[in-house]
Structure 1
Amino acid sequence: MSLVNTDVTVDLAEIENEDLDRWCFANGIAREKLPEISFSADVEIDASSLDDEEIVDRYEEMTRSQGEWFERVYRLLAENDCKAAMDEMQREFGLASPSHERAIADLLSPLGGARG
């Protein structure tokens, strides 16, 4: 099982529920005026339940929605250029400099902190 974080949006106006209908009526709210609720959720997924086509479709969807930066980061990681990959993600997400993370990774690396 893998834990995956995903964004979920619930359109309350499209939910068929008698309790919700009664609540809207009691509060004088039109169903079509109900807001969408968005949140992040952790979902457990068993990779064995996915077929190969589903995995390919998800990857293509993810890379399309994330833009070209994802492919650049993937290529940089494949080329073993972690520094450039981290810099790319830093720019994309507007994160603080990953210098602390690099220092920790260097200490944990088999080279014992030597940069190459």
Structure 2
Amino acid sequence: MSLSAVNNLKPSPWKTVTVSSLGSALEYYDFVIYAVFAATISKEFFPSDSAVTSLFNTFLVFAGGYVMRPLGGIFFSHIGHRFGRRPAFLASMLLMAFTMIAMSLVPSFAA
């Protein structure tokens, strides 16, 4: 194999930046969707006499996601180092999709 053929196998820096940006955008999309529907989520899952208490509980769950981000980064950096970036990226995307589906299937407080 010639040297030019080996150089063609390396991903371009722009491809790496694009894929990384896509992953970050999808991650923040989940947080934005949760924040947009926070009022609805607070009424359905955290009913209380006080709307402020319900919304506060909703944002405590939202904050839990931000607390878990560094732990997920440590875990997936280990996966990426050991098995490559592609399996780490796919695993994180599948886990985010699974949790979004699972969250949509959770019955409301009234049920």
Q: Give the TM-score band, short-chain normalised.
A: under 0.3
Compare the two structures and name the one with the higher strand fraction: 1
Normalised by the size of structure 1, how large is the TM-score?
Answer: 0.21
Q: Which has the larger Rg?
A: 1
Normalised by the size of structure 2, how large is the TM-score?
Answer: 0.21
Compare the two structures and name the one with the higher helix fraction: 2
